[in-house]
Amino acid sequence: MVDAQLSRISVIGTGYLGATHAACIADLGFDVLGLDVDQAKVDSLSAGRIPFYEPGLEEVLNRNLAAGRLRFTSDYTEVAEFADVHFLCVGTPQRSDSNAADLSFVEAAIESLAPHLTRPAVVIGKSTVPVGTATRVADRLHAAAPAGTDVELGWSPEFLREGFGVEDTLRPNRIVIGTESTRVEAVMREISAPQIEQGIPFLVTDLQTAELVKVSANAFLATKISFINAMAEVSEAAGADVMKLAKALSYDDRIGGKFLGPGLGFGGGCLPKDIRAFMARADELGVEPALSFLREVDAINQRRRARTIDIARGLIGGGFADRTVGVLGAAFKPNSDDIRDSPALDVASTIASQGARVTVYDPEALERAKEAHPELNYAHSMLEAVRDADVVLMLTEWAEFRDADPDELAKVVAQCNIVDGRNALDAVEWRAHNWTYRALGRP
Interacting residues with ligand NAD between 231 and 270 (CB under 6 A): 269-270
Residue positions forming the annotated binding site: 36, 41, 92, 128, 159-162, 214, 259-263, 267, 273, 333, 340
Cα-flanking dihedrals φ and ψ of residue 22, to 5°? -60, -50
Angle between helices 207-238 and 242-250 (to 10 degrees): 130
Is residue 65 involved in binding ligand NAD (CB under 6 A)?
no
Task: Determine if 125 is a binding residue for ligand NAD (CB under 6 A).
Answer: no
32 near ligand NAD, rule: CB under 6 A: no
31 binds ligand NAD (CB under 6 A): no
DSSP string covering 218-262: HHHHHHHHHHHHHHHHHHHHHT--HHHHHHHHHTSTTT-STT---
Distance between start and end Cα atoms, the chain? 54
Closer of 161 and 244 to ligand NAD (Cβ): 161
The set of residues, in sequence order, having a beta carbon less than 8 Å from that of 192 and lying 6+ positions away, is 175, 200, 202
Asked whether 281 and 132 are in contact (CB, 8 A), the reply is: yes
Is position 270 annotated as part of the catalytic site? yes
Alpha helices in 239-375 (DSSP H): 242-250, 271-284, 292-315, 343-353, 366-372
According to the binding rule CB under 6 A, does residue 13 interact with ligand NAD? yes
Query: Nearest to ligand NAD by Cβ — which residue?
Result: 15
Residue in 10, 16, 71, 390 binding ligand NAD, rule: CB under 6 A: 16
Using CB under 6 A, count the residues that bind ligand NAD.
27
| DSSP per-residue letters across 10-63 | EEE--SHHHHHHHHHHHHTT-EEEEE-S-HHHHHHHHTT--SS--TTHHHHHHH
- Judged by CB under 6 A, the residue of 24, 25, 80, 90 near ligand NAD is 90
**Residue 176, interface with ligand NAD (CB under 6 A)?**
no
* Residue 215 beta carbon to ligand NAD: minimum distance, rounded to whole angstroms: 9
Collapse the DSSP code of 357 into the 3-class scheme (helix H, G, I; strand E, B; otherwise coil) and give the result.
strand
Q: Confirm or reject binding of residue 108 to ligand NAD (CB under 6 A).
A: yes
Phi, psi of 100 (to 5 degrees): -70, 165
Is residue 170 a contact point for ligand NAD (CB under 6 A)?
no
CA angle 165, 167, 171 (to 5 degrees): 120
In the bound state with ligand NAD, the residue whose beta carbon lies nearer, of 230 and 344, is 344
CB of 284 to ligand NAD, least distance (A): 18
Note whether 89 binds ligand NAD by CB under 6 A.
Answer: yes
Binding site for ligand NAD (CB under 6 A): 12-18, 35-38, 41, 89-92, 105, 108-109, 112, 127-128, 158, 160, 162, 269-270
